[in-house]
Amino acid sequence: MNQLLRILGLSLLILFIQAFLLKDLLALPEWHAYPKLYPLIVLMLPLSLSPWVLYMVAFVTGLLTDVLLGWPLGGSSFCLVLLVVLRTRWILMISRQSSAELLDDFDIERNQLSWQLGYLLPLLVFYELIYNLLIDFGMHLSTLYTIVTSSLMSVFWAFVFVIMVFHRAQRR
């Protein structure tokens, strides 16, 4: 129960930061290069949750983000659900586990910082790539610039957030 309340609190904090603070951090406003911190909500959820719960959390988080930020509805939801599908396979690859059954007691937050960054950063860049290609419908120079700048900003803020929230809690 404590873990569920902590996850809910962190999710609301991330959505608040995204909607009211990070939306104003633009590299170039005409290309909509925003840092995106909200994918951390689904990426840091425990693996022991039911897949359907993960899909629903991802979908609702995406819709809330799109509504709060005035972005096209459904883009964030699609990309977050895709991240939920890919994250277990990515964890199996980087942790060298042989099957998903071994991951039932696996806890993302208890891993070292280097492992967490190796897990989060490629998935955040993948999210930026898919989201921007989906929203911009093509591979133009402005889309490439948006992908690169948004990815760099998202990775930076995710790094800061992981250090501040998860590693501060581990030191206590």
Chain segment 16-28, per-residue pLDDT in tens: 888 888 777 665 5
pLDDT at 3 over 90: no
Rounded Cα distance between 33 and 30, Å, is: 8
* Cα-to-chain-centroid distance, residue 89: 16
Q: What is the pTM of this model?
A: 0.86
Q: Which two tokens stand for residue 68?
A: 């709060």
Rounded Cα distance between 28 and 149, Å, is: 9
User: Tokens 């939801």 — which residue?
Assistant: 77
User: Tokens 């005409």 — which residue?
Assistant: 30
- pLDDT per residue as tens digits for the range 31-63: 567 788 999 999 988 888 888 989 999 999 999
- Comparison of pLDDT for 87 and 172, the residue scoring more: 87
* Cα-to-chain-centroid distance, residue 108: 13
Cα→Cα distances 34→62, 119, 139, 146, Å = 15, 21, 18, 8
Q: Which two tokens stand for residue 143?
A: 């889309």
Query: Tell me, what's the pLDDT at 63?
Result: 93
